Amino acid sequence: MELHGKYVFLSEGVRGSLSKEVIAKYNLSDGHEPQKFGLGMKEIWEIDPAKHKEGTVTHTMGWPLNSNAGGGSFVYHLENNQVYVGFVVHLNYKNPHMFPYMEFQRFKHHPMMKDLLEGGKRVAYGARAISEGGYQSMPKMVAPGVALLGCSVGMVNVPRIKGNHNAMLSGKAAAEAAMAAIKADRSGDELTAYEAEVREGAIGKDLKKVRNVKPLWSKFGLVTSLVVGGFDMWCNTLGFSLLGTLKHGKNDADSTEEASKHKPIDYPKPDGKLSFDRLTNVAYSFTNHEESQPAHLHLMDPSVPVGVNLEKYAGPSARYCPAGVYEFVEEAGKDTKFVINFQNCVHCKTCDIKDPSQNINWTTPQGGDGPNYPNM
C-alpha cells in the first residue's frame, strides 16, 4: 500500500522510525551537531490524601546519579490524590555499567520521596526517550515533499523542561507553509518557508537562548552548568552570548566507553514497596505485542550483542532498556545467547539510540501494538 500526499508531515516524536530514514536518506543532519537524548521514566502514584497538595511541582537535579550521569527528577501533584513521579537520565553517560532504571528506583528511597510515597501505591509506569540536543542539533527539517515537526526535529527546551509549546508551534508553521504552497499550485517540493519560520521565529528564539546549557552540563558537570549556563541564558536574554554556540561532540552511542575503564555499580534490590523490578513495573505500562508477530526490534548483525557488546561493554542493553527487553542467557556447556523479549517493549527507543555498536533498529510493530498508557 502506498499513501500519496502533496506534502507529508512527520511528527512521530523522538527518534521516529520514518523520520530517521528521511534524515539519513537526505543527509539532513549534515552541518549540524548530533542529536542528544535522555531517557525519561515515569510512575503514577496514588498517595495518602494528607500528603497530597494539588498543583505542587518539585524538580531535582543530580542525586542519586552523582558523577555517573546527568539528569534529575520531577514530581507533579495531580487531582484525585495522584502524583507523577519521574526521573530522566541523560544518555551520554560513559560507564556501560550504568543502570538508568535502577537509578530511578533508588531515587524513590530519598527521605523526601520516601515520606511522600509511603502508604501509597503505584498505578502506572512508562518510559520514553527525550530529545535534548536543542538549537544546534536541529537537522534540516525539509526534503522534497516532507517536513519534520516537533520532536522529530528535537525542539525541547532542556533547562525549562518543556517542548510541547514548540511542537505545537511547528505544526502551525508547517500547516501555514503547506497552505501557501498549495495555493500557489506547488507540491512535492521543499517547504523552505516552514524551516525559516522555525529557525528565525518563536521556536528558534526560545531554543537559542538556552543552547549552551546541555553541552556545559555534559562537559563540566552540574554545578558549572548551573552557574555558567545560568549566566549565559541571562546574557542571551539581553541579546548576546560570551560563549557563542558550544558543540555537543559525540553522539550518545559513541559516548559509551569500554567496561574495563569503569567499575560496576552496586544497586540495592527493589523492596517491592517503593521500588520495583522492571518486569513488575512493565505490567503497569499495559504494553502488549501479539507474540506471533515478527519482532519489531531488528539486529543489523546478530553476532554483535555477544561478540562485541558483551565482551567490550559488559552487555549494556541488559541495563539501558527500562523494560527488560534484552538479556544475555548463560547455560552450562553452551554459548551465551542474546534474547530479545520484544513483548515487553514500551517503545522508548533507547536501544536505537544508546547501543554502542548502533546495531539495533527500532521499527513499528504490526497492528499498532505497544504500551497502553492511562493518564500518562
Give pLDDT, residue 32. Answer: 97
pLDDT tens per residue across span 162-213: 999 999 999 999 999 999 999 999 999 999 999 999 999 999 999 999 999 9
Mean of per-residue pLDDT scores for the chain: 95
Average pLDDT over residues 321-327: 97
Sequential DSSP letters for 182-206 = HHTT--SS--HHHHHHHHHSHHHHH
The band of 356, judged by pLDDT with boundaries at 50, 70 and 90, is: very high
Q: How many residues does the chain have?
A: 376
Question: In 238-310, which ranges are continuous DSSP H helix?
Answer: 278-282, 304
Kindly give the interhelix angle for 222-237 and 213-220, rounded to the nearest 10 degrees: 160
Q: Is the pLDDT of residue 367 over 90?
A: no
Picking from 53-57, 212-216, 307-311, which range would have the lowest pLDDT averaged per residue?
212-216
Q: Coil, strand, or helix at residue 63?
A: coil
Give pLDDT, residue 24. Answer: 97
Q: Is the pLDDT of residue 67 over 90?
A: no
Expressed in percent and rounded to 5, the helix, strand and coil fractions of the chain are 35, 20, 45
Give pLDDT, residue 79. Answer: 95
DSSP strand pairing (146-148 vs 8-10)? parallel
**What CATH class has 8-32+134-211?**
alpha beta
The band of 346, judged by pLDDT with boundaries at 50, 70 and 90, is: very high
pLDDT tens per residue across span 19-32: 999 999 999 999 99
Average pLDDT over residues 116-144: 97
Q: Coil, strand, or helix at residue 338?
A: strand
pTM (predicted TM-score): 0.94
Q: Is the pLDDT of residue 366 over 90?
A: no
The band of 3, judged by pLDDT with boundaries at 50, 70 and 90, is: confident
Q: Is the pLDDT of residue 68 over 80?
A: no
Q: Is the pLDDT of residue 265 over 80?
A: yes
pLDDT tens per residue across span 205-240: 999 999 999 999 888 888 888 899 889 999 988 888
| CB-based contact 36:214 (threshold 8 Å) | yes
Q: Record the cell numbers describing residue 338, joined without a space.
A: 542474546
- Rounded Cα distance between 12 and 76, Å, is 26
The band of 123, judged by pLDDT with boundaries at 50, 70 and 90, is: very high
